Structures are given as structure tokens and as C-alpha cells.
Amino acid sequence: MSRFAVESLPISGLGLVVRQKMEDHRGFLARLYCDEELETAGWDGTVSQINHTYTATRGTVRGFHFQRPPFSEIKLVTCIKGEVWDVAIDLRAGSPTFLQYHAEILSSDNRRALLIPEGFAHGFQTLTDDVEIIYCHSQPYNADAESGLNPYDEKLAICWPLPLTEISERDRNHPLVPDQFTGLENI
């Protein structure tokens, strides 16, 4: 039995990491990262940065964030406390699923993670209070390449599971997707 597997999702390149836990009377162990398994799913084997976020209030939205090429990154997103509705939006130029999104519930109970390839924007909504997330990034953060999409943008047609209770000023002010936007090139 594999203790770590990556399942394909409806949008090409997007993966769901399913972790098995080994339990005994002391508790459990679950593998958070596995080069071998992730490499077959598109990860390049490099972890350049690991970030940890805490979000206090249920209904909070963070995102949608991405890095423009040539600083595009792969992300592995894991919820280690609480529960989130985690969303990835395809921004790849020429993709048949351009501007479509896929969402998964990630929680400390299901131990799943979303593997997000280059060329996607990422965001989430907290489904519980006191949520903590760990992000592995394949590239270091580059402030000049930072960009985002507005979570209220009607072109994205996001069907949030809860009313939006909190959102940062920065995320609220991300621009709407312009009509002439054809996607991220060189991904």
C-alpha cells in the first residue's frame, strides 16, 4: 500500500495528493512530501520555499495569487488545522480549460493536498475558524512577478460555499480579468 499518491483531477496538470496514515497507540504519521511520487505528477523535485498561514475566521477568502513567468511556481497546499475550500484557476494560454477552476476540500482530517502546476492562480475560503495551511513552493517568491485575480470577478464564476466574511484590501483590489487577457505564456 502506498502511503502517498497523486490522483489526476479534471483540469490537466492539477493533482490531488492523498495521504495514508500509519497509526498506533501513540497517534499517527502521514507523509507530507515525497519527491518520487510528486515528480511523476509534475513537481520538479525542488522546494524553494515553505510558508505557513493562519486564518482566524470561517468564511475568509485568501487569493487568488500567482507568479508571472518566468517566475511561475508549482505549489503543494496542505491544510494542517481546520478545513478549507481550496481553489485553483487555469491561466495557461491555449489551455482548453482556460479560466476554469477546480476546488477541493482540504482538512486536517482528510490529510489531502492540492498540487497546483505553473500557470494557475490559487486561493481558498476557510470553512472553519482557526485554519492553518502549509505551502511548498517550487520557486522563491518574487515581488516583481506577483499578481492576482479578484475573487469577486464574475468572469471566474466562483461559487463560494459560504458568504465571504473577510478579505484583505489587497485581494479585494486585484483587477478583474480584462477581455483581452489570453493567458500566461511560456508555461
User: Which residues are catalytically annotated?
Assistant: 65, 135
Q: Is the peptide bond before 66 cis (omega within 30 degrees of 0)?
A: no
Helix, strand, or coil here: 37? helix
Backbone angles phi, psi at 38, to 5 degrees: -70, -35
Structural contact between residues 135 and 51, judged by C-beta atoms closer than 8 angstroms: yes
Structural contact between residues 65 and 141, judged by C-beta atoms closer than 8 angstroms: no
Query: CA-to-CA distance for 133 and 7, rounded, in angstroms?
Result: 20
The H-or-E segment that residue 66 falls in is: strand 61-67
Query: CA-to-CA distance for 93 and 83, rounded, in angstroms?
Result: 31
Of 129, 145, 126, nearest to 137 by C-alpha is 145
Query: CA-to-CA distance for 110 and 107, rounded, in angstroms?
Result: 5
